[in-house]
Amino acid sequence: MSWFLAALGFIVLIILHELGHFTAAKLVGMRVERFSLFFPPLLGKIKKGETEYAIGAIPAGGYVKITGMNPTEEIPPEHADRAYYRQPVWKRVVVIAAGPFVNVVVAFAILFGLFAFKGQVVASDHVYGVQKDSAAQGVLKPGDKIVSVDGVGGGPADFRKQIGTHTCADDARTDGCVAATAAKVVVVRDGRQQTVEVRPRYDTAAGRMLIGFTFDNAYDRLGPADAASRSVTGMWNVTKGTVSAITKIFYSSEARKNVSGIVGSYETTRESFKADDIVLSLQILAIISLSLAIVNLFPFLPLDGGHIFWALAEKVRGRPIPFRVMEQASYVGFVLVIMLFAVGLTNDINRLAGPGFGVK
C-alpha cells in the first residue's frame, strides 16, 4: 500500500503543476495541443475539443504542449494569433509561472491544514520511550505521565531543568558518572500515582545530567493567523535551504552527497506512509511540492524559470530575443539539470543499497 500511496502523491503533484500551466494557458487564450501525464512514448490518448489528453510510459513528470512554444515552429494561419510566442510577455509569464505557483499553493495548503487542524508539535508530559541501559530503564515505562520531579511540577522543560540540578560526587562531569542524590519522580501509571527514584547520569554529548527517556509528542492547534504565519515561515526556511543546497553542490563534495533525486524523494515518501505517519507523509509531500516550484524557477531553459527569464529579457530589450541565443543558453541549463539528476540518482542508489533514507 505504501508504494501506491507514494506514487499517488507524486502523480497528484505532477497533475496539479501541469494543470496550473494548462488552466492559465486556456484562460489567456492560448491554444493547448496536448496535456500529458508522464513522458512519451504514449500509452494512451483521447482528444476533446482542440486538446489531446495523454498518458506516457516514463513516470518522470508531465507536460503541456502549447502551439508556438518553438519560435521556428510552422503554425497554421488559423492558429497563429493564439500561439505562445505571438502573445504579450505578461501572458507568457502568467502561463509559465502558474505551474510553480500551484506547487507553492499546495505546499501552503498542506502545512496550513496541519497547523490548523492537527497543530504544532510540542513535548507532552508523557514518557514515549526509555533508552536501553539508562538510569530510567526498569524504573520508568512508556506511557507514564510525569507529574513532578523533586516536587517541581510544570512541563518537560521544567522537569529537564530540575534533573539537571543533580550533580555527581565532587561535582565531577565525567561521562556516565552517577548523581550523588536520586531524583524523586512522581508518575501516574495505570491510573495510579506513585513515586519512583532514579539517579541521573552525566552525558558529555548533551552536556547535562540525563535520566534516559524521551517525552512523547502532543499537538497544539493554532488559529488561522498563527497557522498561516508558521506555514509561510516554514516555507521560507525550506526555500533558503534548497537554494543554498543547490548552490553548494558546485563547490562542496559534502553538499553533493546530500542531494536526493526523484527516487530518493519517492522512497522517503513511501517509507513515511509505511510507518503509518500521515502527518510526516503530508509534511514530506509539502516539502517536495515546494521544492519542485523552487527548482523549476531557476532561470535556465528548459525549466519554467528559464522561459520566464527570457520573456522578461524580451520585455526589457523591447523586441524578441533571437532563438539562436536562447537555444545556446539552453545547453547550459540542460547540462545543469542533467547534472542534478545524475548526482541525485547516484546518491539515491547508494542510499537504497545502504541504510535507506532514515524515515522510521
Q: Which cell numbers hold the place of 28?
A: 489567456
- Does residue 159 sit within a domain? yes
Look at residue 315 and tell me if it is in a domain. Answer: yes
Residue 258 burial (CB count, 10 A) = 13
Residues 199 and 234 in one domain: no
Spatial CB neighbours of 345, under 8 Å, sequence gap ≥ 6: 261, 262, 263
Cell of 351: 542510499
In a domain, 12, yes or no: no
Do 312 and 170 share a domain, yes or no?
A: no
Q: Are residues 258 and 323 part of one domain?
A: yes
| Max Cα-Cα span within the chain | 92
pLDDT given for residue 301 in this prediction: 83
308 is a domain residue:
yes
- pLDDT for 308: 94
Residue 137 covered by a domain: yes
Residues 248 and 339 grouped into a single domain: yes
In the chain, the number of structural domains is: 2
Q: What is the pLDDT of residue 271?
A: 60
Instruction: Tell me the H-state helices in the chain.
Output: 2-27, 89-113, 156-163, 224-248, 253-257, 262-274, 278-296, 304-317, 323-353
Q: Identify whether the C-beta of residue 65 lies closer than 8 Å to the C-beta of residue 32.
A: yes
Same domain, 231 and 345: yes
Pair (109, 178) in one structural domain? no
Residue type, 56: G
pLDDT of residue 205: 87
User: Where among 220, 249, 283 does a domain terminate?
Assistant: 220
Q: How far is CA 47 from CA 34, 35, 54, 318, in A?
A: 9, 10, 9, 38
Q: Are residues 239 and 348 in the same domain?
A: yes
Enclosing domain of residue 192: 121-220
- Same domain for 309 and 232: yes
Residues 109 and 257 in one domain: yes
Question: 313, 299 in Cβ contact below 8 A?
Answer: no
From the first residue on, what is the mean pLDDT of each consecutive set of 10 residues in the chain (360 residues)?
68 88 95 90 91 86 87 85 92 96 95 90 87 91 94 91 91 89 94 93 90 87 91 89 74 62 53 64 85 86 89 90 83 74 59 49
> Which of 197, 220, 243 represents a domain boundary (last residue)?
220
Which pLDDT value is given to residue 120? Answer: 84
Would you state the pLDDT for residue 346? 64
User: Does a structural domain hold residue 213?
Assistant: yes
Contact (Cβ atoms closer than 8 angstroms) between residue 16 and residue 102: yes
Measured between alpha carbons, how far is 311 from 317 in angstroms, rounded to an integer? 10
pLDDT at 272: 56
Looking at residue 130, its pLDDT comes to 92
CATH classification of the domain holding 145:
2.30.42.10
What pLDDT is recorded for position 187?
95
Which 3 state secondary structure label does DSSP give 17?
helix
